[in-house]
Structure 1
Amino acid sequence: MAASDGDPTVVAMRVLIVGAGALGTLHAWHAVTRGHEVVHLERETEARGASVRNFGLVWVSGRAAGAELGTAQRARELWQRIGEVVPGVGFRANGSLTVVRTEAERAVAEQALASPDAAARGMKWLDADGVRRRNPALRGEFTGAVLCERDAAVESRVALPALRAHLAATGRYTFLPGREVRDVSPGTVRDDHGDTHRGDTVVLATGAHLTGLVRELAGPGLPVRRVRLQMAQTDPLDEPLTTSVADADSFRYYPAYAGTALDALRAGQPQPPVAAGHRMQLLMVQRLDGGLTIGDTHEYDEPFAFDVTEDPYDHLTATAAELLGRPLPRVRRRWAGVYAQCTDPSLVVHRQRVADGVWLVTGPGGRGMTCSPAIGEDTANEIGW
């Protein structure tokens, strides 16, 4: 090992990272920017999991108070810095509006706005006129919305290649796609091409792939489950959607809104059968090409279906159209995705040393795109990069 280029007091290491989703790529970012060399292996030719099958949201508003919110806030800062260095990630500080239409929903919003950390999240109440001024594309009928100025977005389908290109330009990053790892031991990774890679540290960021090698290394009882979702993307909307948008069903799925008002909402205003059956909320964000990504559903019981179900899409498009006050553009793509989620809701991620110098990092759940920069930073600090 040699001294790093950035700081002569830092001893440069060779870091082996398995998995090129958001979590693995942001670990590579921190290793390279701290002066280390990275060899990055990915089983597919390009990441195809939840890291690219998502909204690209950097979602601060709904995070649980405490460690989760702190991680999201730190990640939001890091995403903005990364976006300044790598414009290709498509970072934009667009904020979000969570739109409410009933008094019970308004009560949940007011309770959240009265919380001690509402200001830190950039939360404010906007009446209906204020909503339309902030986001003129919303022409439907609603009472108002919770504005969260700290929420942001990145372009999920192009962010990871943009980050890799930037890292490769340093000369200290090598991406090896189409390499499935067969064996991991301290300082060594062997892939299915028969090649052996050696380094000082190994990080496994394999996403929802929790069987095979991961199970062998982590042992039984890995405290992580898999969650399946359905989403879609439309043709371009013919005007800007100036913020990300959520409906009030999102209150039911984000811990920041827990409280007596939410309990009353659940008791007195049940979701429609399709939304309840598929554990749905509406999230909507505009991509850089103008198209709208909409979702999503939550399915927890495996085995998951191999096909997608049409009823949730009907509900999503109808709800989005109600908020926009007009029909949605044609749906261009539909897909399902699976992510890994810690079974302990108090944990942002499961980080486990599975052998000397070998770390498994998994289970951020639906927070992966939001929190990956801060999770990678925490891993780097814990390992001592």
Structure 2
Amino acid sequence: MRILVVGGGVLGTMHAWQAVERGHEVVQLEREPEARGASVRNFGLVWVGGRASGPELATARRARVLWERIGERVPGAGFRPNGSLTVVRTEAELAVARQVAAGAEAADRGFKLLDAAETRELNPALRGDFLGALWCDRDGAVEPRVAQPALRAALEATGRYTWLPGREVRELTGDGVADDRGERHTGDLVVFCTGAWLGGLVRELAGPIPVRRVRLQMAQTEPLGEPLTTSVADADSFRYYPAYRGEALDALNAGQPQGEVAARHAMQLLMVQRLDGSLTVGDTHEYDEPFGFDVDEDPYDHLAEVAGALLGRPLPRIRRRWAGVYAQATDPARIAHRARIAENAVLVTGPGGRGMTCSPAIAEDTAEELGL
């Protein structure tokens, strides 16, 4: 088959990858010169441990295996199985870590509770004052700014893939699509992976869909000057990921509520080292549109304070700040929104903050569902 993929982000690129792997010819169209949305404005986390029990966890675990296989074939994607540490600083936070580390799914999630000495042994850059950490050996990381170009280069080497940037698709035809240059592209199937771009042609074809947009703020620092051997989270992450729900989390929320800035911006600390030694830090969550066009400084002050407390020294100077918007299915039971929108077209969007983690498995599920 000849398949047209509309959207150059990680979800679209993984659909292209699956199609080429299965012997099909792919043309991928992107309205920007390069993907500029949530696929490059994220941590690059392959985040398995915190996922909801059931299909979401199973999808994340499968995606983690797929990412490792892809990383072996495409070293430029920067995949590394670095794991994560969610660091705890109070007894209430420690109780949450202890509960999930003793839970029935702890082995599936790769959880282990570490004391402070074990935490520092695993990640010597963490020299702050803390009680321990929840270790997850299933988590990993990729390089979001370079992963997609590296994947495309590997696809182009097959001779069955074409990348067409700077083309906004304006029309779905009976045998393909037409772009804003007036050019027509023929194909047997069109897969729309347009991320948070839910207006225009997507709205015309799909109408209202059960997907919302979420805005976040993040930053990148100067190089740390030493390896941060794992991804790092603070205990506010317990409040935002479904894996940690339970009596201990209820007690944490009741007895140790978030500070004013963290609560107002729905924050957690996530910190990942890039291959150049810099740190990506974040993040905030904003759910009510219209979103602001600027970024607030208070969250960055909070992130610097929390990260510095874990590192035991000031966070390196922030050199880049940005906001991003991703699409999230409103039904928490759905990994993504996937729907047939025409006889020859399907829309796949709304993985939310799971996009970088789960995109290989989401694309695999699409291919299986469509019989590719």
Say how many residue pairs are matched.
372
Structure 2 equivalent of residue 253 of structure 1: 240
Secondary structure at the counterpart of residue 285 of structure 1: strand
The equivalent of 2:317 in structure 1 is 330
Deviation of residue 115 (structure 1)?
A: 2.0
Displaced runs of 4 or more, over 4 A: none
Distance 1:25 1:117 in 2: 31
Partner of 2:367: 380
- Verify the 8 A CA contact 1:185 1:355 in the aligned structure 2: no
Matched letter for residue 37 of structure 1: E
State which of 72, 80, 99 in structure 1 corresponds to 2:87. Answer: 99
Equivalent of residue 292 in structure 2, options 287, 293, 305: 305
Give the distance between the partners of 2:337 and 2:249, measured in 1 at CA.
28
Instruction: Please show how residues 269-284 of structure 1 align to structure 2 within 5 Å.
Output: 269-284=256-271
* Superimposed CA distance per residue, residues 176-214 of structure 1 (whole angstroms, 9 cap, x where no aligned partner): 000000011343111001011111111000000011111
Q: Give the match for residue 228 of structure 1.
A: 215
- Residue 158 of structure 2 corresponds to residue 156 of structure 1: no
Selected match of 1:291 from 278, 292, 305: 278
Name the CA distance, whole Å, in 1 between partners of 2:12 and 2:186.
Answer: 18
SS in 1 for 2:26: strand
2:163 aligns to what?
175
Q: TM-score, normalised by structure 2?
A: 0.99
**3-state SS of 1:120 partner:** helix
Provide the C-alpha distance between the structure 2 equivalents of 1:333 and 1:251, rounded to a whole number of angstroms. 27
2:350 to 363, 366, 384: 363
1:240 maps to what in 2?
A: 227
- Compute the displacement of 1:263 (Å): 1.2
Measure, in 2, the Cα distance between the counterparts of 1:254 and 1:185: 41
1:217 is matched with which residue? 205
- Please say if 1:346 is aligned against 2:346: no
What SS is found at the alignment partner of 2:108? coil
Which of 100, 120, 128 is residue 132 of structure 1 equivalent to?
Answer: 120
CA-to-aligned-CA distance 1:268-320 (integer Å, 9 cap, x gap):
11101000000000000000000000000000000000000000000001100
Do the aligned residues in 2 keep the contact of 1:281 with 1:297 (CA within 8 Å)? yes
- Counterpart selection for 1:207 from 191, 195, 200: 195
The answer to whether the aligner puts 1:45 opposite 2:33 as a matched pair is yes
Aligned counterpart in structure 1 of residue 7 of structure 2, from 11, 19, 42 = 19
How far apart, CA to CA, are the structure 2 residues paired with 1:273 and 1:173?
A: 50
| RMSD between superposed Cα atoms in Å | 0.6
Residue type matched to 1:376 in 2? A
Task: Look up the match of 1:4.
Answer: none
Determine if contact 1:185/1:358 at 8 Å carries over to the other structure: no
Q: Secondary structure at the match of 2:191?
A: strand
Partner letter of residue 40 of structure 1? Answer: Q
- The answer to whether 1:81 aligns with 2:72 is no
Please state if 1:36 is matched with 2:24. Answer: yes
User: Take 1:115 and 1:182, find their aligned partners in 2: how far apart are those partners?
Assistant: 50
The one-character-per-residue Cα deviations of 1:351-378 (angstroms, maximum 9, x if unpaired) are 0000112000000000000000000000
Q: 5+ unaligned residues in a row in structure 1: which ranges?
A: 1-12
SS of residue in 2 equivalent to 1:236: coil
Distance in structure 1 (CA, Å) of the matches to 2:104 and 2:201: 44
Asked whether the equivalents of residues 94 and 149 of structure 1 are also in contact (C-alpha less than 8 Å), the reply is: yes
